Amino acid sequence: MSEASAGSRPIIEIDHVSKTYRTQDGDVPSLRPLDFGINEGEFLVVVGPSGCGKSTLLKMIAGLMPPTEGEIRVDGKAISKPHSGVGIVFQSALLLPWKRVFENVMMPVRIKGLPKDEYEQRACDLLKMVGLEGFERKYPWQLSGGMQQRASICRALVHDPKIVLMDEPFGALDAMTREKMNVELQRIQRETRKTVLLITHSIPEAVFLADRVLVMTERPGAIAAIYDVPLPRPRSLDVMGDPLFVELTQKIRSHFHSGPGLD
């Protein structure tokens, strides 16, 4: 965990938060009351069985929908609607095909009505940071899947949110691209010092990236365990052979042995 966490209040506070979807076919309890915090600059990864409420939790932190019970606070303020303090990366890059890469990355600046001139340089810097310099004027369909996902990470960072929420961001990528993206994401997080909450169904990805891994139970999701990952940073892919890495992945995997497995 980063030095920023020492003694300070978590930047994200999940205070007895539950969610039950009310549908025509009845209530769908999706999350049992959860209590935890994410520290400033921390990389927290959530793993859990399919349908246990991971995306629900992320959407509530983004303010896209309210909890049924409890309160979510970001920077001490209760969240009741979408807020500009977060950037979101979804499983597929969701870039607009008729807009160039640069315009896609600038989209949050446009939507939030921020001064374009001030953020253009930032967009360029971010694209450079993820290795997309020279691709600014291409259309998304002229890029590989990995490049599109890197562009979507730039889009999530362009307005300089303190927090980045990522919902299975690399699920659609092949294994080798995915590993490269993990190394890349670790570097970006270290450089930008963002607080990151990432959801994944890959246990090695979770342990590789995380300061802490939060393991959820089956739906309605509750916290099964939280593991610290004290492996030093920066981590290279070789860390996957480290006995501590192996031990942690085994411990996390053991939560799912008797259940339906991960999604």
Q: Which residues contact Mg ion by CB under 5 A?
A: 55
Shortest separation between residue 26's beta carbon and ligand ADP, angstroms: 10
Partner from Mg ion, ligand ADP, none binding residue 52, C-beta < 5-8 Å depending on class: ligand ADP
CA torsion sign for 115, 110, 131, 205 is: positive
Distance CA 263, CA 254 (A): 15
Nearer to ligand ADP, 5 or 202 (CB): 202
Nearer to ligand ADP, 52 or 229 (CB): 52
CB-facing half-sphere around the CA of 181: CA atoms within 13 A: 25
Partner from ligand ADP, Mg ion, none binding residue 50, C-beta < 5-8 Å depending on class: ligand ADP
Partner from ligand ADP, Mg ion, none binding residue 33, C-beta < 5-8 Å depending on class: none
Shortest separation between residue 187's beta carbon and Mg ion, angstroms: 26
Nearer to ligand ADP, 36 or 139 (CB): 36
Assigned token pair, 9 = 């209040």
Partner from ligand ADP, Mg ion, none binding residue 10, C-beta < 5-8 Å depending on class: none
Q: Residue 185 burial (CB < 10 Å; 0-12/13-18/19+)?
A: buried
Shortest separation between residue 244's beta carbon and ligand ADP, angstroms: 27
Partner from Mg ion, ligand ADP, none binding residue 21, C-beta < 5-8 Å depending on class: ligand ADP
Nearer to ligand ADP, 52 or 61 (CB): 52
Shortest separation between residue 96's beta carbon and ligand ADP, angstroms: 24
Give phi and psi for 119, each to the nearest 5: -100, -10
What is residue 231's DSSP assignment? -
69 close to 33: Cβ distance less than 8 angstroms: yes
Residue type, 258: S
- Which spans of this chain sit near ligand ADP (rule: CB under 6 A)? 21, 23, 28, 30, 48, 50-56, 219, 263
In this structure, are strands 163-167 and 69-74 parallel, antiparallel, or unpaired? Answer: unpaired
Shortest separation between residue 61's beta carbon and ligand ADP, angstroms: 12
Partner from ligand ADP, Mg ion, none binding residue 18, C-beta < 5-8 Å depending on class: none
Decide: helix, strand or coil at residue 28: strand
Nearer to ligand ADP, 228 or 263 (CB): 263
139 close to 100: Cβ distance less than 8 angstroms: yes
CA distances from 19 to 55, 199, 224 (A): 11, 18, 17
H-assigned helices in 9-52: none
